[in-house]
């Protein structure tokens, strides 16, 4: 009898839940009512932020089953012939016009650089050709910002900002035809210099809370009574504001007289205001950490503007926040990741060459294991950062507005950039902390916090945005469930919620089963796309396994904490770390394929993948260690990692392979540093380091020959005076040829100039160094004053056929 009762109960449950019409009639309405009670309320600004942008590869990672074939099928991003020419010639020329140290003396870019930027269309890269712009791809936009960042941060920022979130972007998407026809050609030609003012002293990270107010009213404009706004604002941190001619402004809207509608407070509105307009206060500057890009406050009190200055006209009043959120994703995916990668390429190029040629204890410092540990992090981080930058730009070019991915790359590329520069400073030691034209890394070190802070402070981005937005936006079911809860038509709400909720249940059960299977060893059987490199197959499987574990923990966290998860920022941050590291690992796998699987890149690939997988694993264990339901946490840990944690840090031997690749001049190293500007001026410290690195194999060969010959000359000195005496002795003894003499002398001169630091007269703080550079290369004139050129002479080695018998010399170019 009991068995019959149990069977009837089971059949009843089966009918109740498995038969759609019965379930929707008896179960789903009750579940829907429960969700309506427990689901946290959402403001309009939160809803706009969540619904803005699109999902892409992040949705695959949230699903627990990433479709690798789809990712690998995307063609690698490529520049058109026009774009490549612009990068190789126009961008190269602009870099030649600017010197980072000189900009610090001027507190600005030199006038010829501003003029060139305007005349060559650098300020209109995103503007369509029909308006006189370049209409470059997102990838090209990224390449330009990256290359400029290898030369000078102020240069990169001055180009980056007009092509990111600002007047041009907003006009393209929301402007009236009249606004586009008037402003876009002027912006493309550099006739107008734009800025966009959002941040205020009382609304930084909480940008939607800006107190700046525009009251709808009638006012006088150009001699006639006009509908418009009486504006009062106080903004700060506005890049290009001190030199701007066109001010983009975001403000709250008030319509107390209902001149527009019955809505007293329509919301945030965006407008374009000529900087010369009566009442606009603009021109003063901030000085963010010695960065000299133009940045400053703007304000106005009771300034009247006509309605036609609203971007998009009256129809867009109150829609400014949505406009900003929809445009932010694309710009944030490009600007700061690209500038951070550019800074990283400059740092790696200079530091790796320095470590290879700088000797202590009669050995290159790049062979010390402590230095190699830092160098390996620098090289592998740069490889990963560049991979993430490229993949994100590809997504934008495919038409995506990747809200979650843009937050991932903004946070993680800038944070790894900070770590990269810190490692570089540790390697440079005392040379790195003395500012001057002979220090290539000091500006980057000082200014790194700027990238960390802007376009969403990194703490906020990590703890609130990446997972907080992704868990809803990129999850295959949560947004559908929320939409059903908000549906006013009850019948439609029940149908939509039933589909989403029970689909979600099946999704969770499937990931739990797959997570257990992978944990028990099934991950070794996980599918790897046929297009993938066989040597990286274990990494594809590892990312898939961790993606499944992440999907499980996402749903368990939402189930246990519900709306409280939004306030559990540390758990949210760790979950964000997991999906972020999986995205970074995916970008490395994609880059290796897109680059043609170069075997020489495998040290970078293995190191960066192992590091990313370890960090993803640490994020998961951090969630489990702090999960509020302790019993469930133990169960989930056992299910997901039954035999322990699989990922370990990269081995020392792998790090050594990375550092060897970084310190070996040639095409493989140049692939890591592609499109990094190197000055032709030998006074530039990075150029000097590169020249020394190119000579290093010849110097090592000469040194080895002398050591093998067991001569008294086998210990070559480091200092320039000692080397001169040594060379004279070696030449007299016929131990070296004239060609070798000149190679060794040129190498020693280059290294001697490279290791020097700058010093100044007592009263000078920003001036030409009194002793730069410190050698006989013709920089100091007969009076002992610094040369007006400030340029070290470059040397070319004579061939022996060009020399008189017995002559050994270097001639200036």
67 exposure class (CB count in 10 Å sphere: 0-12, 13-18, 19+):
middle
453 exposure class (CB count in 10 Å sphere: 0-12, 13-18, 19+):
middle
C-alpha 736/C-alpha 19 separation (Å) is: 92
Q: Could you tell me the two tokens for 494?
A: 């029940």
Return the number of other C-beta atoms located less than 10 Å from residue 5's C-beta: 9
C-alpha 24/C-alpha 35 separation (Å) is: 15
Would you call 325 helix, strand, or coil by DSSP?
Answer: helix
CA distances from 470 to 496, 520, 533, 559 (A): 21, 29, 30, 16
Listed in sequence order, the residues at least 6 apart from 165 whose beta carbon sits closer than 8 Å to its beta carbon are 196, 324, 327, 328, 331, 332, 455
Residue 44 designated active-site = no
Alpha helices in 709-808 (DSSP H): 720-732, 738-755
Phi-psi region of 561 (alpha: psi -120 to 50; beta: other; left: phi over 0): alpha
The catalytic position among 192, 326, 455, 690 is 455
118 exposure class (CB count in 10 Å sphere: 0-12, 13-18, 19+):
middle
CA distances from 80 to 83, 84, 90, 131, 793 (A): 5, 6, 15, 20, 37
213 membership: H or E segment, kind and range: strand 213-221
C-alpha 224/C-alpha 216 separation (Å) is: 16
Phi-psi region of 238 (alpha: psi -120 to 50; beta: other; left: phi over 0): beta
C-alpha 290/C-alpha 352 separation (Å) is: 25
- DSSP β-ladder status, 224-239 and 213-221: antiparallel
C-alpha 545/C-alpha 516 separation (Å) is: 10
- Give the DSSP letter string of 256-320: TT-SS-S-S--EEEEEEEETTSTT-EE------TT--S-EEEEEEEEEEEEGGGBTT-GGGTT-H
Asked if 222 and 266 count as a contact pair (C-beta separation under 8 A), the reply is no
Q: Could you tell me the two tokens for 298?
A: 């703007």
CA distances from 124 to 120, 482, 515 (A): 9, 40, 49
CA distances from 458 to 233, 335, 411, 463, 464 (A): 26, 15, 6, 8, 10
Closest alpha carbon to 101 in 679, 673, 779, 684: 684
Q: Which residues are catalytically annotated?
A: 455
């Amino acid at each position: 009898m009991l068995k019959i009762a149990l069977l009837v109960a089971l059949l009843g449950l089966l009918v109740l839940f498995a038969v759609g019409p019965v379930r929707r009639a008896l179960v789903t309405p009750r579940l829907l009512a429960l969700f309506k009670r427990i689901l946290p309320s959402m403001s309009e600004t939160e809803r706009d932020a969540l619904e803005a942008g699109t999902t892409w590869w992040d949705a695959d990672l949230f699903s627990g089953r990433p479709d690798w074939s789809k990712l690998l099928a995307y063609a690698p991003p490529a520049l058109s012939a026009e774009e490549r020419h612009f990068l190789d010639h126009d961008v190269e020329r602009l870099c030649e016009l600017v010197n980072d140290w000189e900009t610090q003396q001027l507190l600005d870019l030199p006038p010829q650089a501003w003029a060139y930027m305007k005349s060559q269309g650098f300020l209109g890269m995103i503007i369509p050709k029909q308006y006189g712009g370049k209409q470059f791809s997102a990838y090209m936009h990224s390449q330009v910002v990256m290359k400029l960042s290898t030369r000078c941060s102020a240069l990169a920022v001055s180009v980056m900002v007009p092509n990111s979130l600002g007047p041009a972007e907003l006009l393209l998407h929301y402007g009236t035809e009249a606004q586009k026809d008037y402003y876009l050609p002027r912006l493309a030609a550099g006739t107008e210099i734009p800025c966009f003012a959002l941040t205020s002293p009382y609304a930084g990270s909480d940008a939607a809370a800006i107190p700046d107010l525009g009251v709808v009213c009638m006012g006088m404009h150009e001699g006639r009574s006009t509908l418009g706004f009486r504006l009062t604002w106080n903004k700060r941190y506005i890049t290009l504001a001190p030199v701007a001619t066109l001010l983009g402004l975001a403000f709250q809207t008030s319509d107390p007289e209902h001149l527009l509608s019955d809505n007293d407070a329509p919301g945030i509105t965006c407008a374009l205001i000529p900087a010369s307009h009566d009442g606009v206060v603009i021109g003063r500057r901030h000085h963010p950490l010695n960065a000299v890009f133009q940045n400053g406050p703007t304000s106005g009190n009771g300034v009247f503007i006509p309605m036609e200055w609203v971007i998009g006209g009256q129809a867009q009043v109150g829609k400014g926040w949505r406009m900003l959120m929809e445009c932010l994703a694309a710009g944030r995916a490009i600007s700061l990741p690209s500038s951070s990668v550019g800074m990283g390429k400059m740092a790696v190029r200079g530091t790796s060459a320095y470590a290879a040629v700088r000797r202590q204890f009669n050995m290159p410092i790049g062979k010390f294991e402590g230095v190699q540990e830092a160098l390996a992090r620098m090289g592998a981080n740069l490889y990963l950062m560049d991979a993430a930058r490229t993949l994100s730009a590809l997504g934008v070019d495919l038409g995506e507005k990747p809200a979650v991915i843009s937050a991932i790359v903004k946070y993680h590329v800038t944070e790894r950039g900070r770590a990269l520069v810190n490692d570089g400073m540790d390697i440079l030691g005392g040379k790195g902390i003395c500012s001057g034209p002979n220090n290539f890394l000091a500006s980057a070190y000082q200014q790194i916090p700027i990238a960390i802070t802007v376009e969403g402070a990194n703490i906020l981005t990590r703890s609130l945005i990446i997972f907080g937005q992704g868990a809803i936006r990129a999850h295959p079911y949560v947004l559908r469930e929320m939409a059903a809860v908000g549906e006013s038509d009850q019948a439609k709400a029940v149908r939509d919620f039933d589909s989403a909720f029970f689909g979600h249940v099946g999704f969770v059960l499937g990931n739990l089963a797959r997570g257990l299977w992978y944990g028990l060893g099934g991950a070794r059987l996980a599918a790897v796309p046929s297009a993938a490199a066989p040597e990286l197959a274990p990494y594809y499987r590892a990312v898939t396994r961790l993606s499944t574990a992440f999907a499980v923990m996402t749903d368990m966290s939402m189930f246990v904490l519900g709306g409280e998860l939004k306030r559990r920022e540390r758990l949210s941050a760790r979950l964000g770390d997991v999906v972020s590291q999986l995205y970074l690992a995916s970008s490395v796998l994609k880059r290796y394929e897109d680059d043609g699987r170069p075997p020489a890149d495998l040290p970078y690939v293995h190191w960066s993948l192992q590091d990313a997988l370890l960090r993803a694993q640490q994020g998961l264990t951090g969630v489990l260690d702090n999960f509020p339901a302790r019993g469930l946490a133990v169960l989930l840990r056992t299910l997901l990692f039954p035999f322990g944690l699989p990922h370990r840090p990269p081995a020392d031997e792998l790090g050594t392979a990375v550092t060897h690749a970084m310190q070996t001049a040639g095409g493989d190293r140049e692939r890591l540093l592609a499109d990094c500007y190197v000055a032709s001026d030998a006074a530039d410290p990075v150029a000097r380091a590169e020249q020394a690195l190119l000579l290093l194999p010849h110097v090592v060969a000469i040194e080895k020959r002398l050591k093998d010959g067991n001569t008294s000359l086998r210990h070559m000195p480091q200092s320039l005076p000692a080397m001169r005496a040594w060379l004279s002795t070696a030449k007299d003894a016929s131990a070296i040829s004239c060609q070798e003499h000149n190679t060794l002398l040129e190498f020693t001169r280059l290294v001697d100039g490279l290791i020097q630091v700058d010093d100044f007269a007592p009263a000078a703080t920003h001036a030409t160094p009194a002793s730069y550079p410190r050698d006989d290369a013709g920089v100091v004139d007969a009076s002992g004053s610094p040369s007006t050129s400030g340029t070290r002479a470059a040397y070319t080695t004579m061939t022996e056929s060009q020399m008189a018998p017995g002559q050994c010399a270097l001639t200036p170019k």
